[in-house]
Each structure stands twice: as structure tokens, then as C-alpha cells.
Amino acid sequence: MKQGIAVDLRNVVKRFANVCAVDHVSMQIRDGEFFSVLGPSGCGKTTTLRMIAGFEFPTSGEILLHGKSVGTTPPFRRNVNTVFQSYALFPHMTVAENVAFGLRMKKVPQAEIARRVTEALDMVRLSDFAARRPRQLSGGQQQRVALARALVNQPEVLLLDEPLSALDLKLRKEMQLELKSLQERVGITFIYVTHDQEEALTMSDRIAVMSAGKVLQIGTPTEIYERPVCRFVADFIGETNFIEGKVEALERGGIVSILSDDGLTLRGQTIRPVESGAHVTLSIRPEKAFLSVQEPPPGTPNCYQVRVERVAYIGSDTRIDVRLGSRLFDLWEQNSRSTLDRDAYWQPGETGYLWWPAENAIILTE
């Protein structure tokens, strides 16, 4: 598939009364991409989606669909379809009639409608339910009807507004995988709005992280998780320990040495250029730091003797809080051995050596 740009947002602003819901957002979504917009509620992600759909028009800026500006084109003239959070199935129509609605509106010939509706229902495995009413279906089935109703129109872009949020956890996980494989099969560009970071990481080719109307970072799931550009992104996606301090020395390969506010010297990797003496935050994820019983060899970076304060066994991992300087530091150890031996696990009150390779920590300037 050619890597064209399906949706191009250029400096899009949306103001409601005196609230700036979307603040100079620019992003390019490629053809055939599974693109997620991730952020907390009220960050402007749904408004962004609604502007692409045509339910809202931007206050300023431009939206292009395959190169054509669609600033004030009403939704029914855009070749874009939406899967709503509430599904918004028509309760007075059967499943088949719901799916056929878009094609009827476009005056597609009857025979073709029948064929495409059958195909679409097959695709979401609901052929046996064609004659049912939406309210006779389970939440997951309604969800699939909503998908079929949108996809049957073969839109340029499919917009999904938190479509899984009404489902229970197990079903949600199933639907995540199903959505992803469906998207790969049909090859349509998906723009997926969610506040659930795991959902975004699981399914997306790329993710845009939004907060307070602004896009903070756009990148692949790995980039977003491993190389967050600011504190918000590091904090919102996954868990992390923040340690604030001043830049002491710049070393080779982007390694920065900082002096924390409580007097620890720590090293981490920077992506952006930093100046000596600048205030920065070091972010180190709990699974990227280690706790050893024996003292690591001299020269091991970021090595401090610490006391274990709290231990939580959660099955796959053990979550350990250790005291590092004035703070509690969170680290996760994978329970890779299967044993009931108490000594195999850390106990509160024990001491150990906390350390991490410098490149496991990220230096954030914002």
C-alpha cells in the first residue's frame, strides 16, 4: 500500500465559548495506519475526532482528507465513518437494516446492498443475527454491529471514539485483538480515541498523546513508552519514578549525570540537548531498575544501598518500594522462578543494592 497521508491536521484550533478544547493540533495520519489518540478525559481527543468526522468545525486551521480540505463539509458529505462510544445503533431497525443504512443513503442498488450487508455481517460474525433488533444483542455484539455499519461503506478513514469502554475487561481484551486483525484485513485507516494506555499500546501503529488540547508526542508505542518527551507522557503511559535535579555533567553518548535535590548523583539518557546546571527530571520505570543482594561490581552506575519498605506480591511480579534518599522508589521484579521459598522474595526491612544502567533512565527537560 502506498504511504499517502489519509488525514492531515494543520494547526487546528477549536474554541467553545471561552474554552480552548483543541489548541494548535497538527498531525498526519498515514493511509492504512492504526492511529490512536490517547489522553485523559477532557484533553480534546474526542473534539479532534469530531472535527475529522464533521460534527464540529475548527475555529481555525485546516483538516485535509486525502489532500482535500474539508473545513466545513457536513458529515454526510465526508467519506468518513464513526463508531460511537454508545454505538448509536438505530433501535427501530434490525441489525441488517442498521448495516444497510449508509448504503441506502448513498442510493446503492438493492442487490449490491444485500450482498455487501451480508459480507459485512459475515466479517463481524453476526450473520445469524441479521433479523434481530439491537437491544436483543449483547454489548459485544452491538459493538460489532456498529463496526459493520461503518465499515460496509468502505470509508477513507474509520473513526472510533472509545468504542470498547462499555465492555467488561475480558471482552475488551478480546475485542482489542479482533479490532487490530480486522483493521489489518480491511486495510482501512483507523483513528482510535481512547484514555486507556494499554489499549493504545496493544493496537496502534502510532499514538498521539494529548493533554489540555495540545499534542505532546506522536510516535510508535515503543517510542512513546521508551522515549517519552515530557513528564506528562512518561507519567500517563505506564508507571515511572521521577527524580528531580540539576544537570552536573554531560557525558558521551547523551548520558547525563545529575545531582538530585536530596544529594544523589544519578545518570540517565537524554534525547534532547541539555545544558549544565539546568533543572531536569530523571524518569526511571519500575521494571528497568534492579535490586541485588550482593554489592554490584564497582563502577556500576546509579548504585545505592537501600532498605526495602514495602513488598506486594501480585503473581507475575513483585512490586517493591525501597527508600532512596528522601523518597520511596518503586521497582518491579519478575517472579521468573516458581517457588514457595520465602527467601526467594524480598521482605520489608531487608537491605539491598538498587542500580540501573544509565540508558534505562530518561532525562526530561519539560
Partner 1 sequence: MAADTLASDSQPREGRIAAILRRNERLQLGLLLFPGLFWLVTFFALPLVIVVFYSFAVNGPGGRIEWTFTLENYRILFTESLYVNAYWRSIWAGIWTTLICLLLGYPLAYYIVRSPPHWRTVLLFLVLIPFWTNFLVRTYAWMLILSNNGIINSAIQSLGLPRVALYPSEGAVLVGLVYGSLPFMVLPIYASLSRFDFTLMEAAADLGASQVRAFLKVMLPLTMPGVAAGSVLVFIPTVGQFVVSDLLGGAKVDYLGNLLQRLFTRSNPPNWPLGSAMAIVFMVVLTIAIVIYFRATIEEDR
Stretch that binds partner 1, among 5-13, 75-83, 323-331, 332-340 (CB under 8 A): 75-83
**Cell output for 342:** 520465602
According to the binding rule CB under 8 A, does residue 101 interact with partner 1? yes
Stretch that binds partner 1, among 68-76, 178-186, 291-299, 329-337 (CB under 8 A): 68-76
Using the minimum distance from each CB to partner 1, give the nearer residue, 104 or 125.
Answer: 104
According to the binding rule CB under 8 A, does residue 75 interact with partner 1? yes
Smallest distance, Å, CB 100 to partner 1? 10
Distance, in Å, from the CA atom of 70 to the CA atom of 193, rounded to the nearest integer, reads 20
Per the document, the length of the chain is: 366
Helices (H) and strands (E) in the chain, counts: 8, 20
Q: Are 82 and 72 in contact (CB under 8 A)?
A: no
According to the binding rule CB under 8 A, does residue 303 interact with partner 1? no
**Cell output for 107:** 442510493
Hey, what long-range contacts does 231-239 have (CB within 8 A, 24 or more apart)? 231/281, 231/283, 231/364, 231/366, 233/209, 234/283, 234/362, 234/364, 236/38, 236/39, 236/40, 236/197, 236/209, 236/211, 237/38, 237/197, 237/200, 237/201, 237/209, 238/197, 238/285, 239/285, 239/286, 239/330
Binding mask 121-150 for partner 1 (x = CB under 8 A): ----------------------------xx
Using the minimum distance from each CB to partner 1, give the nearer residue, 142 or 302.
Answer: 142
Q: Are strands 80-83 and 265-270 parallel, antiparallel or unpaired?
A: unpaired
According to the binding rule CB under 8 A, does residue 329 interact with partner 1? no
Using the minimum distance from each CB to partner 1, give the nearer residue, 21 or 243.
Answer: 21
According to the binding rule CB under 8 A, does residue 74 interact with partner 1? yes
Q: Are strands 361-364 and 265-270 parallel, antiparallel or unpaired?
A: parallel
According to the binding rule CB under 8 A, does residue 16 interact with partner 1? no
Please, which of residues 187-246 interact with partner 1 by CB under 8 A? none
Smallest distance, Å, CB 53 to partner 1? 6
Calculated CA dihedral for residues 36, 41, 42, 43, nearest 10 degrees? -40
According to the binding rule CB under 8 A, does residue 55 interact with partner 1? yes
Using the minimum distance from each CB to partner 1, give the nearer residue, 131 or 249.
Answer: 131
The three-state DSSP-derived secondary structure of 307-366 is: EEEEEEECCCEEEEEEEECCEEEEEEEECCCCCCCHHHCCCCCCEEEEECCHHHEEEECC
Distance, in Å, from the CA atom of 292 to the CA atom of 353, rounded to the nearest integer, reads 5
Using the minimum distance from each CB to partner 1, give the nearer residue, 130 or 250.
Answer: 130
According to the binding rule CB under 8 A, does residue 160 interact with partner 1? no
According to the binding rule CB under 8 A, does residue 19 interact with partner 1? no
Binds partner 1 by CB under 8 A, chosen from 60, 86, 276, 292: 86
Smallest distance, Å, CB 235 to partner 1? 32
According to the binding rule CB under 8 A, does residue 105 interact with partner 1? yes
Binding residues for partner 1, total number by CB under 8 A? 23
Amino acid at 105: M
According to the binding rule CB under 8 A, does residue 46 interact with partner 1? no
**Element (DSSP H or E) covering residue 306:** strand 304-313
**Cell output for 135:** 437491544
According to the binding rule CB under 8 A, does residue 47 interact with partner 1? no
Smallest distance, Å, CB 102 to partner 1? 4
- Of 246, 68, 293, 188, nearest in space to 179 by CA: 188
Stretch that binds partner 1, among 28-36, 86-94, 199-207, 343-351 (CB under 8 A): 86-94
Chain residues that interact with partner 1, rule: CB under 8 A: 53-55, 74-76, 80-82, 84, 86, 88-92, 101-102, 105-106, 149-150, 153
